[in-house]
Structure 1
Amino acid sequence: MQVKNVCVYCGANDNVKKSFRQIAVMTGQEFANNNLRLVYGGAQVGLMGLLADSVLANNGQVIGVIPDFLSDLEITHTGVTELIRTKSMHERKVTMAERADAFVVLPGGLGTLEETFEILTWKQLGLHNKPIIILNTEGFWDHLIVLIEHLVNENFAREENLTLFTVVNTVDEILNVLNVANETA
């Protein structure tokens, strides 16, 4: 399967470091420049909004997926290419996963962690075999990676669980991983 649609999990908070905001914009530019359609949580705030705006500003396509009850909290992005409204968070995550050929994790909070662990678990269980890429910009996810290694060391996860995802440090490395996935598809 060719990677054309990439689901990105990231924060919806506007009060974050400038460098994290810049990484969201850069990711959006590169997605658009490489004809990768963004699938994301449908908000116009935080890194989510910056990412979507960047894809759109560079003539890319964006699929936003947002549950009705969150549309006021996260402020639905009405300028996306396609907006899908769902009844629940679960339906949102399933829809995003079904639409995606790969997953990228940018800096974020509890929601980003929850989505990341769910998609990792689904891959572990064999429900999908899509690339999962964690962008560890400025070491943001260092503690998460150490935690997963700790789970393996304590026999709560298998050694092969460390191969469920790829850790990268730059947006260019995200594209490299996606290109390799396309070459082996």
Structure 2
Amino acid sequence: MKSIRSICVFCGSNTGYDEKYKKTTIELADYLAVHHYRLVYGGGRLGLMGVLGNEMLNKGGDVLGVIPKVLVNEKLTRISNDKIITTADISERKQYMLDASDAFIALPGGFGTFEEFLTMLSWSQINLHQKPLALLNIDGFYDPLIQLLKQACDAGFAPKENLNLFVSSNHVPELFDQLAKFQHTQPNKWTN
């Protein structure tokens, strides 16, 4: 597998109520900066997205924000114009993020974060990409989603092998160990 240098992080435009989400986001940003990964993210200044981008920039990290035209707003955008790409819409944003990244991590977030993660998972399932995909499962935040994905497999709507298309961990270094070992195997999409 190609080495990972550019990582797209999906995360919320809110910080959540528990301080641990912000704390782990800072830990992730520090890890990315120290290990010289480029961050590809939503480009926002609010929520975990803002925490992540600000921490990376403060550490001198390499940052690329990708924001759809509909969300361009000086209150929402944090980074300078030379570090941001504006796309026509959300679909073009996701395609740009896919093309610009070697791997994906989802931090806790809301509906947009879920949609971005599930899009990349679905695209992996049909072999549109073979890149590592991970959930940073802070304090079990993603346990219900993982359970739902297992339930879809158990009910015959997806092959069980699809559960190998992503990795999950509560700890940043362990998550990167799993990303480094990730091997994409395209399962047969049809179960019956």
Measured against aligned partners, the alpha-carbon deviations of 1:44-67 in whole angstroms (never above 9, x if no partner) come to: 110001001111111111100001
Q: Distance in 2 between matches of 1:51 and 1:85?
A: 19
Which position in structure 2 is the counterpart of 1:57?
58
Q: Distance in 2 between matches of 1:99 and 1:22?
A: 26
1:142-157 to 2 correspondences below 5 Å: 142-157=143-158
SS in structure 2 at match of 1:103: strand
Cα RMSD after superposing both structures: 1.7
**Structure 1 residue identity aligned to 2:124:** K
Cα–Cα, structure 1 residues 74 and 107, in superposed 2: closer, same or farther, change >3 Å?
farther
**Structure 2 residue identity aligned to 1:117:** L
Which position in structure 1 is the counterpart of 2:92?
91
Measured against aligned partners, the alpha-carbon deviations of 1:125-156 in whole angstroms (never above 9, x if no partner) come to: 00111000111110000100000000001001
SS in structure 1 at match of 2:44: coil
Structure 1 range deviating more: 135-144 or 78-87: 78-87
Q: Distance in 2 between matches of 1:60 and 1:142?
A: 31
The count of residues paired between Structure 1 and Structure 2 equals: 182
Contact 2:22–2:51 (Cα < 8 Å) also in 1: yes
Measured against aligned partners, the alpha-carbon deviations of 1:77-110 in whole angstroms (never above 9, x if no partner) come to: 2247620011100111110111010000110000
> What runs of 5+ residues in structure 2 fail to find an aligned partner?
184-192
Cα–Cα, structure 1 residues 79 and 19, in superposed 2: closer, same or farther, change >3 Å?
farther
Which position in structure 2 is the counterpart of 1:178?
179
Contact 2:40–2:64 (Cα < 8 Å) also in 1: yes
Report percent identity of matched pairs: 38
